[in-house]
Chains A and B, each alone.
Chain A
Amino acid sequence: MRVASFHQFNKTQYNINLIQQKQANQQFQLSTGKEFSKASENPIKAKQAEIIKQSMDKVEQYQKNVSDAKGIMETAVTTLQNTYQLLENVNTEILKAQNGTYNDNDMQTMAMVIDKSIEQVVSAANTTHLNRYIFSGEKILTKPYDFDGNNLTYNGNGNDVKIAVSPYVDTTVMSSGDKLFTKTINDLVTIRDQIKSGDRSGLATSFEEHKKNMDNTLNQIATIGVNIDGLDIVNEGFIAQKNNLEARRSDAEDIDFTKVIVEYSATQQTYQATLKATSMMFDSSILNYI
C-alpha cells in the first residue's frame, strides 16, 4: 500500500498521543491507589463500591441505635436494682413487724421506715435518662408518678418505646411504669398502713403480694439484662459485617499495585521505543541522498 508522507506523521502523532494517555492514567492509579477517578470511567465497579458504602452506612446507623438503646436500658436496670434493694429492706421490716415482740412505738418507727422507702421507690420510678422519664411509657416528658403520701397517680401511658436495632428487631427500651411500679408502690402503702394500725392478719396477705412484687422486679432485671447481652451480640455481628464490607469495597475501588507497576514499566518502554522509531523514520528520506 502506498504511504503518504504527511499521513505518516499524523499517524505517528496519533499513536504517541494514545500512549501518553495510557501513561497518564497509570500514573493516576499509582499515585492515588484508586482504579478510577470518575464513575464514568468504570460505572460497574463504581456502582459496586457505592452500594457497599451504602450498606456500611446502614450498619453504622444500626450500631448507633444499639448504643443508644443500651444507654437507656442500662439506666433502667440500675434503677430496678436499686428498687429491689429497697424492697428487700421493706421485706426485713415486714418480718420484724410480724414478730409479735415489738410494741406500738416500734411499729410506728417501722411504718416510718417503710414510708421513707416508698418515697425512694417513687423517686426511682421517676428516674430520668438524658432529660426524659424512662418509666412513663411514651409520655416521656411527663413525670410518671405523683404521690401525695397516700394516693398514687400514674401520668404516663401504657405503650412501650422501641428502637430498631437491626433490620428485623425492634428492642423495647422503655416499658410503661404501670407494669413495673404501680402495684408495687400501692402494695407498699397498704403494708405501711397495716403496720401502723397493727393489722397482722392483713399484713400476712400483703406480705405474699410483696414477695410476688419482688420476684416481678427480679424478672424485669433479668429480662433487660438478657436483652442488653443480646444487643452486644448484635453489635459484634455488625462489626464483622463492616469488616467484610470494607474488604469488598477495597476490591472494587483499589488497585493491585504490583500489577499496575508492571504495566506502567511496559508502557514506558513502549513509549520510548515509539519515540526512537519515529525519529529514525524521519531521519531517512530521499533528500539526504540528492
Chain B
Amino acid sequence: MTLSFNTSLSGLMAAQKAMQVAQMNVSNMNTDGYVRQRVELAENTSAGGSGIEQKIGSGVITENISRMTDLIMQSNYNNQSSKVGYYEEVESTLSEVETVMGEDSIGKLSNMMQDYFNSWQELSKFPEESSYRFALVGETGKLTQKINEMGKELGRVQQDVIDNTQVQVKEMNTILKGLAEVNKKINENGKFVSNGLLNERDRLVNQLSSYTQVEVSYESSNPEAVSIRSGGVYLLDNEKTYDIRLMKSNDEYYLSNGAARIDVSNGKLKANLDLVDNYIGKYTNQLNKLTTELINQVNSIHSSGYSMNGDTGIDFFVGTSSKDIKINPILKDDPSKIATSAVAGVEGNTDIAKQISNVINQPVDLNMNFRNYVNSFSMGMAQDLNNVSSQVTVQNEVLVGIGERKASLEGVNLEEEMTNLMMYQKMFAANAKSIKTLQETLDTILNIMN
C-alpha cells in the first residue's frame, strides 16, 4: 500500500488554481475585452503503485486554463466593427457638410437662385428704374456669396478629411506596432502563453478592425502569433511591421504599406477615401458645373444686350468656379451699365432681361434645368446622409447582436463565478480533510510500532 498524500495534495492544488481562476474572473468582470478563463481538470492516470493499484490513478491535474472564445465569432465581430466604423465615419463628415453648407433646410441655394432670376423679371418690367437695378445687384451678391461659401466649405471639409486620414493612418501604425510587440512576447512565451497577452492581442485586432477590414492568420511557429493582412496585402507579418502611408497620384488617394498598394475595404480609412472621391468630390463637381453653366449662359445673353446708355459686350459674371464667381465689378460700380434691351437705343425693349430671367428653365446638364439641377443637388446631399444614417442604425444593431452572442461565450457571469468559488472552496476543504484523515491513518500505523 502506498500511503501517499499526493492524490489529495493534487486535489488541493487543483482547487487552489480553480479558486484563483474564479477570483481572476470576478475581478475582471467589467473589464473591456476580457475573456473568461476556465479551469480544465483531468484525472491523473499515470501509474502509481503496482498491481491493482494501477487501476486507481493518482489524483487530478490541471490540464489547461483555457480562454472561452471562438475564432469565428471574433472574426464576425471584427468584420462588423469595420462596417460600423465605415458608416459612422461617413455619417459624421456628411453631417458636418450639411451644417456648414447651410442646406439643412433644403432650398437655401434654390431660394437665392429663384430670387436672383426674379429680380431680372422685375427689371424687365421697369428697366428705367434704377432701384430695380440696385435690387438686381443685391440679389446677385447674395447668390454669388452663397455659392462661394459652399465651394470653399466643400474644399475645407475635403482637406479636413485628408488630414484626418493621415491621423488615422498614424493611429493604425501605432496599433500595429503594439501588435508586433505582443507577437514578440507570445513568441518568447513558448507553450503557456499568458491569457492576458492573448486578450491584449485580440483587443488590438478589434481596434484595428474599425480602421479597415483585416484578415487574420496564424503563420508563425507559435500558433498564437498573428499576421494581419488587408485586401491581401501585409499590414503586419508576425513581428515585422510595415510603415503604412497615405499616398496620392493623379488626384487619387490610396494607402500603401511601403511595397504594395492596399485596397482597404470597410472601416474608417475606406470611409475617408470614399468621402473624398464619391461624396465630397461629387458635390464639388456638381456645384462647379452649375456655376460654370450659370456664368456662361448669363454672360452670353448679357454681352449681346444693350444698357440704357448703349453699353454692350459686358460680361455679367466674372470668375471660373464656385469659389470665385461674382458680379462683374464694372456693373457693381455702375448698375446703369446692366444690359436689358436687345436693340440699341430702344430702352423699353427688355428682351435681354426676359431671356436672362428665363435661364432658370434652361438645361444645365442632361435635360435638367437650373431649378431641377439645384434641387437634385440639395436633395442628393440630404438623401446620401439619410441613407448613411439608416445604415449606422442597422449595422450597430447587428453589432450589438453579434456582441451579445460573443459575450454569452466570453463574458463573466457573477453568479456562476461565485458558485464556482464556493464549489472549489468545498473541494479544497474536502481534500484538506482527506489529508488529515490520511495523516491520522499513518499515526495509527506508527503507534502500532511504538
List residues of chain A with CB under 8 Å of any chain B CB. Answer: 1-7, 9-11, 14, 37-43, 46-47, 49-51, 53-54, 57, 61, 64-65, 68, 130-132, 136-142, 157, 159, 161, 163-164, 174, 285-287, 290
A61 to B360, CA, bound (A): 14
Contact of B104 with A37 in the complex, beta carbons under 8 Å: yes
Residues of A contacting B198 in the complex (Cβ-Cβ under 8 angstroms): none
Residues of B in contact with A, size category: 35 or more
CA distance A57 to B114 in the complex (A): 8
A4 close to B410 (CB less than 8 A) = yes
* Most chain B CB inside 10 Å of its own CB: which residue of A40, A53, A54, A287: A40
Contacts of B400 in A (CB 8 A): 11, 14
Interface of B (DSSP majority class) = helix
Q: Are B114 and A7 within 8 A (Cβ)?
A: no
- The reply to whether A5 and B411 form a contact with Cβ atoms under 8 Å apart is yes
Give Cα distance in the complex from A10 to B401, angstroms.
12
Bound CA–CA A37/B103 (angstroms): 11
Interface residues of chain B, those whose CB is within 8 Å of chain A, are 29-31, 94-95, 98, 103-107, 110-111, 114, 118, 121-122, 125-129, 308, 341, 343, 345-350, 354, 371, 375, 378-379, 381-383, 385-386, 389, 400, 403-405, 407-415, 418-419, 422
For the complex of A and B, 9 pairs with smallest distance between CB atoms = A4-B411, A7-B407, A138-B348, A140-B348, A40-B385, A39-B106, A39-B382, A4-B407, A43-B382
| 6 A-B pairs with C-beta separation under 8 A | A3-B411, A11-B404, A46-B106, A54-B110, A138-B348, A163-B125
Q: How far is the CB of B88 from chain A (nearest CB, A)?
A: 15
Q: Could you tell me if B106 and A159 are in contact, using CB atoms closer than 8 angstroms? A: no
Q: Kindly provide the distance from the CB of A160 to the nearest chain B CB, expressed in whole angstroms.
A: 10
Contacts of A161 in B (CB 8 A): 348, 350
A270 to chain B, nearest CB (A): 18
Question: Which of the residues A1, A11, A140 comes within 8 Å of B347, measured between beta carbons?
Answer: A140
Interface pair A47/B125, CB less than 8 Å apart: no
Chain A residues lying within 8 Å of B31, measured Cβ to Cβ, are 6
- Pair A54/B371 contact, Cβ less than 8 Å: yes
Q: Judge whether B348 and A285 touch: CB under 8 Å.
A: no
With A65-B125, A285-B414, A287-B418 known to touch, is A40 a contact of B389 (CB < 8 Å)? yes
Q: Which residues of the other chain, B, contact A43 by a CB distance below 8 angstroms? A: 106, 379, 382-383, 386
Residues of B within 8 A of A11 (CB): 400, 404
Nearest chain B residue, comparing its CB with the CB of A34 = B105
Are A50's CB and B375's CB within 8 A? yes
The residues of B that contact A287 with a CB separation of less than 8 Å are: 414, 418
Quick check: A39 and B103 within 8 Å, CB to CB?
Answer: yes
Instruction: Say whether A290 contacts B418, CB under 8 Å.
Output: yes
Query: How far in angstroms is the closest Cβ of chain B from A193?
Result: 34
Q: What would 14 more interface pairs be, CB under 8 Å, given A2-B413, A37-B104?
A: A5-B414, A6-B29, A6-B412, A7-B403, A40-B382, A41-B386, A43-B379, A47-B375, A138-B343, A159-B346, A161-B348, A163-B125, A285-B414, A290-B422
Chain B nearest CB from A18 CB (Å) reads 9
Complex Cα spacing A51 to B125, Å:
26
Docked pose: A179 CA to B334 CA in angstroms: 37
**Complex contacts, A7 vs chain B, CB 8 Å:** 403-404, 407-408, 411
Partner of B412, one of A5, A54, A290: A5
